[in-house]
Amino acid sequence: MEIIHLLFLGLAALAVVAAFNVILQRNPIYSAIGLIVVLCCLAALFLTLHAQFIAAIQIIVYAGAIMVLFVFVIMLLNVREEESRGDRQKYLKWIAGPLFIALLAEIAAVLRLVDTPAPAIANPNQIADPSTSLGTVESIAHGMFTDYVLPFEATSVLILMAIVGAMYLARRGSQAEMDRIEKALGGQGEAEPSTADDHVAV
């Protein structure tokens, strides 16, 4: 057991625990934090796989932008602890466990039967030809702007559409709508009572 294995196991355990945290927590902020932990563990694992660039942008983009967005939205909507209203699909709670085990068992079975190959490249850290070594910014850029230039451009158009769409969907509504939301969100530091039965938002 080398150090790399231990490292892997530690990161993996942390990631799994954090993932469970994401799905089992009541407060969405805690779920968000759990997800951030998962992302960072994954970034570390990327590094062990010689995917430096990917690891970096995982942190920058995923953890740094997307999760921040999530947290902003959670705070904007002032989501509290989950009110335990009647769960209409109660049975799902019970079948989730067995489904979990079933899926895992299947994947384990498949993995057992598949021969995993030895790595094709012994050590990608050859500096002899930086453009061909795996995972460096140079090689990724090289591939991106030659083979994958079309998906790249398409992705930029996609992001443009996403910007426009997000702006439109989330725009401020009419005054009446705003008032209604104000009323719904009211009680945060104001004198209005904030009991659940007052503004039963269904």
Partner 1 sequence: MLKWIVLAPLIGAIVNGFFGKRLPEKVIGLIACSSVAVSTGLAFFAFFTRLLPLPADQRVITEHFFTWIQVGKFQADFAYLLDPLSGIYLLFITGVGLLIHIYATGYMHGDPGFYRFFTYLNLFMFMMLTLVLADNLLVLFVGWEGVGLCSYLLIGYYIRRQEAGDAAKKAFITNRIGDFGYMIAMFTVFVTFGTISFVTKAGVPSFLVQAAEQPVEVWGAAGVMTAIALLLFVGATGKSAQIPLFVWLPDAMAGPTPVSALIHAATMVTAGVYLIARCSAVVVKSPTAMLVIALIGAATAIFAATVGLAQNDIKKVLAYSTVSQLGYMFLACGVGAFTAGVFHVVTHAFFKALLFLGSGSVIHGMHEEQDIRRMGGLKKYMPITFATMMAGWLAISGFPLLSGFFSKDEILWKTWSTTALPHGWGRALWVVAALTALLTAIYMTRMMVLTFFGESRFGHAHDAHDHGHNDGHESHGKPHESPAVMWVPLAVLAVLSIVGGFVGVPAALGGSNHFEHFLEPVIAHVAPHEAAAAAHDAHGVAGVAGVAGGEEHHDVATERLLTGVSVLLGFLGIGIGFAVFRRRPLRQMPKLLEEKYYVDEAYEASVIQPLETTSRDFLWKGVDVRVIDGAVNGVARSFAGAANLLRYTQTGSSRNYAAVILIGAIILIGYFGYMATR
Partner 2 sequence: MVPLSWYLALSAVLFTIGVVGVVIQRNVIVLFMCVELMLNAVNLTLVAFSRFLGDLNGQLFVFIVMAVAAAEAAVGLAIIISLFRNRETLNVDEADLLKL
Q: In this chain, which of 56, 59, 186, 199 binds partner 2, going by CB under 8 A?
A: 199
Q: In this chain, which of 111, 128, 176, 191 binds partner 2, going by CB under 8 A?
A: 111
Site track 124-153 with partner 2 (rule: CB under 8 A), x = hit: x---------xx---xx--xx--xx--xx-
* CB distance 43 to 58 below 8 Å: yes
Q: In this chain, which of 12, 109, 126, 153 binds partner 2, going by CB under 8 A?
A: 12
Q: Output the DSSP codes for 94-152.
A: HHHHHHHHHHHHHHHHHHHHSPPPPPSSS-TT--SSGGGSTT-HHHHHHHHHHTSHHHH
CA 7 – CA 69 distance, rounded (Å): 30
Site track 29-58 with partner 2 (rule: CB under 8 A), x = hit: --xx--x--xx--x--xx-xxxx-xx--xx
Q: In this chain, which of 76, 95, 154, 201 binds partner 1, going by CB under 8 A?
A: 95
Q: Name which of 114 and 191 has its Cβ closer to partner 2.
A: 114
Between the alpha carbon of residue 83 and those of residues 31, 33, 149, 195, the distances in Å are 16, 20, 48, 11
